Structure formats: C-alpha cells, structure tokens
Amino acid sequence: MEMEQATPTVVSPKLRKKKTLNQGYWQKYGVFYLMMAPALIVLIINNYIPMVGSIIAFKKITYESRSFIENFVNGQWVGWKNFEVLFKTSDAWRITRNTVLYNIVFIILNLIIGVGVALLYNMMRNRRLAKFHQSVMFLPFFLSWVVVSYLVYAFLNPQLGIMNNLVLDWFGVEDVNWYADTKWWPVILPILNTWKGIGYYAVFYLAAIISIDKEYYEAATIDGASKTRQVMSITLPMIRPIIITLTMLQIGKIFYADFGMFFNVTRNAGALYETTLVIDTYVYQGFLVSGNIGLSSAAGFYQAVVGFLLVFGSNMIIRRISKDDALF
C-alpha cells in the first residue's frame, strides 16, 4: 500500500509497477471500476455512440426497412457528397458567420462588462447595497430562455409591445416590425446575452478580486498610485488566471450557439434568418422540421470537427504563451 504513493521515492518506477499489477490491485481498486460504471454507460450511450454515429454524414439513408439500424447499416456510402451540397447553399456561410460573429461579440462583452461590474461592486462604499445589486443582477441567469422570450415578446410585440407603443412613440420614431426586421437582431441578441449572463460572470470575477491581499492596495496607496493605476497594476494582473479560464471556456464553444436564445427569443421567425440562423438552429430546422438527414448531419459534423479544432488550436496558442493558463 505504501508503494502506491505518487510521490517519487528512491524505489525505482519499474519495481512499483510490478507490485501494482498483481492480484492485490483488483482487490483494492476493482471497486473503482464499479463506481465508474454507471457514468460510463451514460457516456457511451449519450456521447460515444453518437460520435461514431456521426459518420451518418457520409451516408445516404433510405427508409427501406422498419428498423433504423438496418437502414443505417445498409445506407450507401456517398463520401463528401452531403458536404458538397451543404457548402453550395448560401446557408453554410450564413450560419458560420452568424455563429462565430455573435460568439465573438458575446465573449468580448462578457469579459469587459463582467470584469467592469465586478470591479465596481468591489469599490462600492455600501457593502449591503452591493450585495443587493449583485443578487438582482443574478436573477436573469435563473430564467429559462422560454421565460426570456416572453419578456422580450412583451417589449417587441409589433402591435402591443412596449417598444412600439411606448418607447418609439416617445422618441417620435416610426414603429419597427421587430420579428421581421433583420437589422436589429445583431443588437438585441448581444444585449440579451449580456443581460442574462453577466451576473454569472461577475460572481467569478468578484470572488477572484475579493481574494486579493489588501496589503498590495495599501502599499500602492502609500506610494500615491491612483485608483485606475491600482486596477491596472494590481487587480487585473491578479485575476488574470480566472479571466483566461473563463474566456477560454467560451472560445472553446465559439462554433456552438446557445440554441435556446436563437430559437426561442427570435421565435424562430424565418424572416429573421439572415441575422439569426446559427449552426445549431440550422441543424434542428433541417433535420426535425424538413427531415433532411444528409444536409443536417453534414452541418452537425462540420460543427463538431471545426469546433474541436478551434478548442485545440486556441489551447495550443495559450500553452505557447503561458503554460499554466492552458485548459489542458
């Protein structure tokens, strides 16, 4: 048992390995495999079989047999044909552009506003009030996108909504048909994303800021450093690890859109697709509404592979710059 310790000792690694390989190993660690079994079964069904199943994008599925598995196995290999069709449509570019651009805007806003809000919280003189505001700001994070779509609908309903009835009238501007006019959504969606998520990001940044030793600030104050200077030279460098981790996690998902937002809040209005259709909603629409397995599975495969390469690539870059900040 004392051999199991990971700490390097004088014992040669080979000798240690021999000992762990014997029968005692299973007696001691066998139960670990049992403990992991339920989650593994879920992963196999939920993740790993679908990963293998994504080769469906290279097949042409017919509905000859009643059994889906038979149809899948008998499906003819068509190579890259589904992808050729996908990239010939204008949709391919549109969904890629929308997905990536929205995510870039979201990441930047979450970073700047999240850190900014956390900094200001920390500077408020009345701590009780700061706590109150933090709680209120966190509320939208708890609402589902279905609920948010109701709230948005109450504002944007073309006939009855607050925007057309109250706000625009007040400014003397003509009514906007929100659910048919594409040009407003690149503004509306980032606002909503920030509104819903900023409390969540601020919590992380605030926790990091609070844990900074006060002595740094005291020393800086004695040296006559201004508040701005203290933020730039103490606070931001100290919370850099959490900034990088949270941002990296989002960059890793840059090829994935928040289905709930793009589908629900826009009410999946076809007229808005130019600025609201993203890869996830495209796959759903193509597959479950139009029933086009080839095209939508190709889009899904494209998303999975490019998304994976992007996470991997960005992690490699971070590793180059500073190894400790890499996710893996």
**Closest CB to another protein among residues 59, 106:** 59
Q: How far is the CB of 130 from another protein (least distance, A)?
A: 8
Helices 90-123 and 185-210: angle between axes, nearest 10 degrees? 40
**Closest CB to another protein among residues 164, 247:** 164
**Closest CB to another protein among residues 185, 262:** 262
**Closest CB to another protein among residues 4, 181:** 4
**Closest CB to another protein among residues 57, 115:** 57
Q: Which amino acid is at 96?
A: T
Q: How far is the CB of 280 from another protein (least distance, A)?
A: 7
- Which residues make Cβ contacts (< 8 Å) with residue 112, sequence separation at least 6? none
Distance of alpha carbon 161 from alpha carbon 163, whole angstroms: 6
Q: How far is the CB of 312 from another protein (least distance, A)?
A: 8
CA 164 to chain centre: 32
**Closest CB to another protein among residues 3, 108:** 3
Find out whether 186 and 275 touch, Cβ atoms under 8 Å. Answer: yes
Q: How far is the CB of 153 from another protein (least distance, A)?
A: 7
Q: How far is the CB of 102 from another protein (least distance, A)?
A: 18
Q: Which two tokens stand for residue 307?
A: 């998304």
Tokens 């948010």 map to which residue? 148
Find out whether 287 and 297 touch, Cβ atoms under 8 Å. Answer: yes
User: Quick one: which of 248, 250, 251 has its CA closest to 240?
Assistant: 248
Q: How far is the CB of 275 from another protein (least distance, A)?
A: 21
User: Quick one: which of 215, 228, 271, 261 has its CA closest to 106?
Assistant: 261
CA 296 to chain centre: 21
User: Quick one: which of 207, 186, 166 has its CA closest to 104?
Assistant: 186
**Closest CB to another protein among residues 23, 46:** 46
Q: How far is the CB of 66 from another protein (least distance, A)?
A: 10
